[in-house]
Amino acid sequence: MSFSASIITLFPELFPGPLGASVLGRGLADKLWSLEAVHLRSFATDRHRTVDDTPSGGGAGMVLKPDILAQAIDTVSPPDDLRPRILMSPRGRPLTQARARELAQGPGAVIVCGRFEGVDQRVIDSRHLEEISIGDYVLAGGEVAAMVLLEAVVRLIPGVLGAAESHADESFENGLLEYPHYTRPQTFEGMTIPPVLTSGDHGKIARWRLEQSRLLTRARRPDLLPDEG
């Protein structure tokens, strides 16, 4: 069984977008994963195909209506669907590499993209939507956030990245930021590759990389280091 993503959105034409390029796009063509973008507006019931209404209690903007959104979720994801239901939301738990890895091991995801001021709380509660944020800033809609989530997840699906592009020692995989990379030429604008990397001593190279990872993490992301965070 391959990973299946369903997106509920007012802008289905944005998909697959960047998810159709490069290794992810190849994985899509090779059916290592699948993607359907479902138009929320197709579940509207009135003549004007209304999907939003003004916020109860007043205030600016519009809120996605719970009845229309619930109908869309129930159609895309019937009760026997084992996929987690996710709402992209700045109020959500921040996306992590660990959550991306969990999702990549599962059957897929149903992802709701908010727009305007957001979605009616009752649909979040009744459909058990897991709110996930991609960072502490506010986007205009959930579509780009859903692409970020899917890009992080799909590249971890077995076979999507070739063996040559392994992710075993990438940033966050061992709780640290990745060490610096170098490639030929040996001298670039007067700067040379650190000699340890061309020494051929794999033990020494591994120790140097770990040390660089620790230095970078301490300098830039001390919050990632449990002892000193």
Binding site for ligand SAH (CB under 6 A): 88-91, 113-115, 117-118, 133-135, 137-139, 141-142, 145
Minimum gap (Å) between residue 132 Cβ and ligand SAH: 7
Is 107 or 135 the residue whose CB approaches ligand SAH more closely?
A: 135
Minimum gap (Å) between residue 16 Cβ and ligand SAH: 18
Go through 173-205 and write b for each residue having 16 or more CB atoms within 10 A of its CB, e for each that does not.
eeebbbbeeeeeeeeeeeeeeeeebeeeeeeeb
Per-residue tokens: 106: 């599962």
Minimum gap (Å) between residue 228 Cβ and ligand SAH: 28
Is 134 or 152 the residue whose CB approaches ligand SAH more closely?
A: 134
CB 171 within 8 A of CB 178: yes
Distance CA(158)–CA(166), nearest Å, equals: 10
From the list 103, 112, 150, 116, the residue with the least C-alpha distance to 131 is 112
Is 38 or 176 the residue whose CB approaches ligand SAH more closely?
A: 38
Per-residue tokens: 115: 């727009």
Go through 122-152 and write b for each residue having 16 or more CB atoms within 10 A of its CB, e for each that does not.
ebbeebebebbbbeeeebebbbbbbbbbbeb
Q: Which residue is nearest to ligand SAH (CB)?
A: 114
Is 35 or 132 the residue whose CB approaches ligand SAH more closely?
A: 132
From the list 124, 66, 122, 61, the residue with the least C-alpha distance to 91 is 124
Minimum gap (Å) between residue 83 Cβ and ligand SAH: 18
Is 136 or 227 the residue whose CB approaches ligand SAH more closely?
A: 136
Minimum gap (Å) between residue 193 Cβ and ligand SAH: 38
Is 144 or 224 the residue whose CB approaches ligand SAH more closely?
A: 144
Minimum gap (Å) between residue 109 Cβ and ligand SAH: 14
